[in-house]
Chain A
Amino acid sequence: MSQTHADYRLSQLDQLEAESIHIFREVAAEFEKPVLMFSGGKDSIVMMRLAEKAFYPAKIPFPVLQVDTGYDFPEVLATRDNWVNRLGVRLIVASVEEALANGIVVDDGKTSRNRHQIGTLLNAIEENGFTAAFGGGRRDEEKARAKERVYSHRDEFGQWDPKMQRPELWNLYNGRLHEGEHMRIFPISNWTELDIWDYIGREGIEIPSIYFSHQRRVFERDGMLLSESEHNSCREGEVVEERTVRFRTVGDLTLTGCVESTASTIDEIIAEVAIATVTERGATRGDDRFSEAAMEDRKKEGYF
């Protein structure tokens, strides 16, 4: 007995990994039909990696679901396909464009495709009978998310009621559901943006190329740099120019801004994130800017 307590130390990143893997296994054991929401962004890639580890050497025992806005970055979709093929998981694509065409969601000309994802996602969950949907939400992202449980109960309308959340004690998660209800599961709740980058660096895993510095034709709108594309035409006074940029988050390309950056390796990104003075969502997400409670309001309706 020469070893001391200090020898049995796990770094915080290893502790976070162990906790997340425990959550993945718990859900796979207790829920009938789980699904992993997978956008191909950095957080959902970390989720995919954790799921891979949780069940290794068996395959991930549930499918992955991507809600395709039709305005996704091609580089992100390519990474999505590489991950799905390598791990041999089944990919389900819920298309916003199809949902619009089928009248499942309605385009009033004012609503963004990000909001249209809500109806599209809820429809996909209901149609497939999913009882648990893993999401890559982190509590450090946003103040409404800081309140979210790891197991987040949704009623049969897919709604979140922040006042009626179940207390969550120790690591004893309660997955009880009634017919038609489902649970949103957030295994990386306790991770921060920096943890995600450290983990991507440590694991050496593939992420979309647009996270690294590159040349891009962009224009400025509301203080954000948006990509020039066929879905995103310039308004009067907006000028397209080529800049050296990278993305901190990926989403609908009409709303997701990039930042000027020369960071071209994971280490350079980590150094940049460590001294960032603006949150990733504040810097680059147009969808959070509608009101102070934009995220909370969307989550109540069923957004993840």
Chain B
Amino acid sequence: MSTTNMDLLRFATAGSVDDGKSTLIGRLLLDSKSIFEDQLQAVEATSTSKGYDYTDLALLTDGLRSEREQGITIDVAYRYFATPNRKFIIADTPGHVQYTRNMVTGASTADLGLVLVDARQGLTEQSRRHAVILSLLRVPHLVLAVNKMDLVDFAEDVYQKIHTEFTQFATKLNIPDLQVIPISALQGDNVVNRSEKMAWYSGPTLMHHLEHVHVASDRDLIDARFPVQYVVRPKSDEFHDYRGYAGQVAGGVLKPGDEVVVLPSGMTSRIAKIDLFDKEVTEAFPPMSVTVHLEDDVDVSRGDMIARVKNAPEPLQDIDAMVCWMTTTPLKPRQKLAIKHTTRTGRALVKDIQYRLDVNTLHRDQETKELGVNEIGRVQLRTTVPLLSDPYAKNRATGSFILIDEATGVTVGAGMING
């Protein structure tokens, strides 16, 4: 089995503490034969020494000493498994205390969000909150897995009630694709194999859905965006005049001959050629890392953006964004922070905090003028450098930024630019 031509799907898991998330991940890994004998033996040995009468699959995913001591997941972990057509990267985000910041971290790169609910509990505040965060982060596909169906006698009406309730709630959110699947992670029903006990369910199994969900069209292939990351200048005899602009395509399709503009200078030129290592390519699209050459000797450096002449982002210094705050010291007006957007870095001043979003009720609290840890709000920023940005809803790569505390150097905020 070679992975060379496989597809890739990144998904983030969410769910509260006892909804069986670790069991489900363990089951996906186990049934796709991604757990090795030595790993399983280690987990069995630890389960036995802890006095459990079952193999605790959560031990597979809790990788740190302090997590195993407390029996909780502290931080996002990334796991891998593959089926014959697709490789999967799971961002395993903990349902515990620091939920929002970890969810945002895991969801920022995800194509699909997987929210687990306990069939006995139905929708909880936590499941709604997770769906809200996934929709804010514009994760294009959402799966609601109704777990522990074995504990409600695999009853269709339990599933239908949760299905209806969630579909109604989802109309208030931006969720382009929703799939609801009844499962039992513990017994393996509808995870990889179809459940005979739920003959009333005619949809796909979870694994089938993960394998077949269509993600290729989730990228913006219309608006060409190329943030310049690094200027390649060999200065060797052989490549004396070589001057290439290296970067990762953030949107659209670039082709030799395209008329382009370099921002923020506004100079125009044409793409002369595009290199992918030692080969020339006829086009480049996201997420390719390539080197672009221009016909004219214009001044281009890291932090600049190459776009199409008639379709370029506006350089903005006044930024309106949703910000998720990730540290215990609150975000307040007049605060100054470092900002990183594409390959640009600068400083940002908090002009105003318009409202704090209650992710449980979607209520906009305009009274509170600060954001605490794990809170999300609408924030106005003034930046020292213009950001060459698009609305996050249009392009996740050019619509996102991070905020850094200049004293500690720690990443303290995640931002999504409003359109």
Contacts and interface: CB of A to CB of B under 8 A. Distances in A.
Interface stretch (A95-103, A107-115, A204-212, A275-283): A275-283
Interface string B229-254: 11011111011001000111000010
Contacts of B2: 194, 198, 201, 270, 274
B66 interface: yes
B36 A282 contact: yes
Contact of A174 (B60, B302, B409): B409
Interface in A162-181: 162-163, 165-172, 174, 176-178
Interface in A1-32: 5-6, 8-19, 21-22, 25-26, 28-29
A279 B109 CA distance: 27
A221 interface: no
Contact of B221 (A8, A144, A178, A202): A8
A139 interface: yes
Most chain B beta carbons < 10 A, residue from A6, A57, A190: A57
B233 A58 contact: yes
Interface of B: 1-8, 36-39, 42, 46, 60-66, 68, 74-80, 82, 86-87, 89, 101-102, 104-105, 108-109, 216-217, 219, 221, 229-230, 232-236, 238-239, 242, 246-248, 253, 275, 277-278, 285, 287-289, 291, 302, 326, 338, 340-341, 343, 396-397, 400-402, 404, 409-411, 414
B3 A198 contact: yes
B80 A192 contact: yes
A189 B4 CA distance: 17
A28 B63 contact: no
A146 B63 contact: yes
B236 A57 contact: yes
A139 B80 contact: yes
Contacts of B62: 143
A26 B229 contact: yes
Given A22-B248, A58-B234, A283 B38 contact: yes
Interface of A: 5-6, 8-19, 21-22, 25-26, 28-29, 53-59, 139-140, 142-147, 162-163, 165-172, 174, 176-178, 189-190, 192, 194-195, 198, 201-202, 270, 274, 276-279, 282-283, 292-293, 296-297
Contacts of B253: 8
Contacts of B230: 25, 28-29, 55
B410 A21 contact: no
Contacts of A278: 36-38
Nearest to B90: A146
Q: Output the residue of B8, B233, B242, B278 with the most chain A CB within 10 A.
A: B8
Contacts of A146: 61, 63, 77-79
B216 A22 contact: no
B3 A167 contact: no
Given A11-B5, A12-B7, A58-B232, A170 B78 contact: no
B8 A167 contact: no
A13 B4 contact: yes
A254 to B, nearest CB: 21
A10 B288 contact: yes
B216 A9 contact: yes
Q: Closest 5 CB pairs between A and B?
A: A282-B38, A143-B63, A176-B409, A12-B8, A58-B234
Nearest to A199: B4
Contacts of B275: 56
Contacts of B246: 25, 54-55
A139 B253 CA distance: 32
A163 B287 contact: no
B138 to A, nearest CB: 11
A162 B75 contact: yes
18 contacts: A11-B7, A18-B287, A22-B289, A25-B229, A56-B275, A58-B242, A142-B63, A143-B60, A143-B62, A143-B63, A147-B64, A170-B108, A172-B340, A176-B404, A194-B2, A282-B36, A282-B37, A292-B68
B65 A176 contact: no
B343 A29 contact: yes
Nearest to B276: A53
A169 B104 contact: yes
Nearest to B42: A292
Nearest to A146: B77
B109 A174 contact: no
A274 B80 contact: no
A177 B77 contact: no
A18 B247 CA distance: 10
Contacts of A283: 38
Most A-side CB within 10 Å, residue of B62, B247, B288: B288
B60 A167 contact: no
A57 B278 contact: yes
A50 to B, nearest CB: 10
A11 B3 CA distance: 9
Of B3, B4, B76, the most chain A CB neighbours within 10 A belong to: B3
A177 B229 contact: no
A15 B409 contact: no
Contact of A57 (B105, B242, B396, B410): B242
A61 B101 CA distance: 35
